[in-house]
Amino acid sequence: MKDIQNDPAAVSLPIDRVGIKNLRLPLLVRDKAEGVQHTVADVEIGVDLPARFKGTHMSRFVEALESWSGDLSYASFRELLSEVRGRLKAKDAHVTFRFPYFIKRKAPVSASPGVMDYQCSVEGRLDDAGFRITLGVEAPVMTVCPCSLAISGKSAHSQRAVVSLRCRFKGFLWLEELIDIAESSASSKVYAVLKRRDEKYVTEDAFENPAFVEDVVRAAASALNAHPLVTWYKASAESFESIHNHSAFAAIERAK
């Protein structure tokens, strides 16, 4: 049968990345407490396309995923990227998994258990320069405004925020390590379950640690900069302001 994808392109321009996205796949990831954790990933997978080809072969992306084990480790991830690169005859292959990661947290006073979910990602790229992994987490937190606290007689405005961390690293880096860094950078963690005595503790603790979004991102960046395994990072924070009709954000990106 005629392979239209291999016909010359009407416009002879190379494409940096072409592929499929929004495909869901069962995924097995490493869990620091339990060993492994089953989750479901949203997958984006793509390759470069030379100028001489009209299109790529979309079915080959799915075939590569179908033949993969679904067990996310350094070796298996590299194997998947190599398989994609080979099947598509590409120089540059990319795969990104985005997935919820679950951690059981205990409330700070009552120790009531509750499961927190964190949006995480693992991005892989394989080209002539080698194989690179970027790990990402998004952690919900609470912030108290230092300015509001300083100028108000009785209180201050507080709000939820999200700290997002992405990093490249050497060796093995746990998702839990990045989540801990993200949560520790804010005025307070947030919890799935809080009894009244927990609410009292969280509120008072947060007000003892007011933080602008700038403070949050600097604290996270400082911790990543000090981490012996991290080689590159981007730390960002977004505060969903409770007294403004907008969000505040800050970001720091560094190669170590």
Give me the residues of the chain with pLDDT under 50, please.
none
CATH (domain of 205): 3.10.270.10
Q: What are phi and psi of 226, to 5 degrees?
A: -85, -15
Given this model, what pLDDT does residue 6 score? 61
What pLDDT score was predicted for residue 80? 97
**Count of domains forming the chain:** 1
Residue 23 lies in a domain: yes
Q: Does any domain span residue 4?
A: no
Domain assignment present for 57: yes
CA atoms within 13 A on the CB side of 207: 13
User: pTM above the 0.85 mark?
Assistant: yes
pLDDT of residue 7: 56
| Predicted local distance difference test score (pLDDT) of residue 165 | 98
| Cβ atoms of 138 and 193 closer than 8 Å | no
Rounded to the nearest 10°, the torsion over CA 221, 161, 133, 69 is 150
Residue 1 covered by a domain: no
**5 assigned to some structural domain:** no
Range of the domain at 39: 15-255
Would you state the pLDDT for residue 9?
63
Q: How far apart are CA 81 and CA 59, in angstroms?
A: 16
- What backbone phi and psi angles, to 5 degrees, belong to 18? -140, 140
Query: What does the pLDDT read at residue 50?
Result: 83
Position 110, amino acid:
S
Q: Is 8 inside any structural domain?
A: no
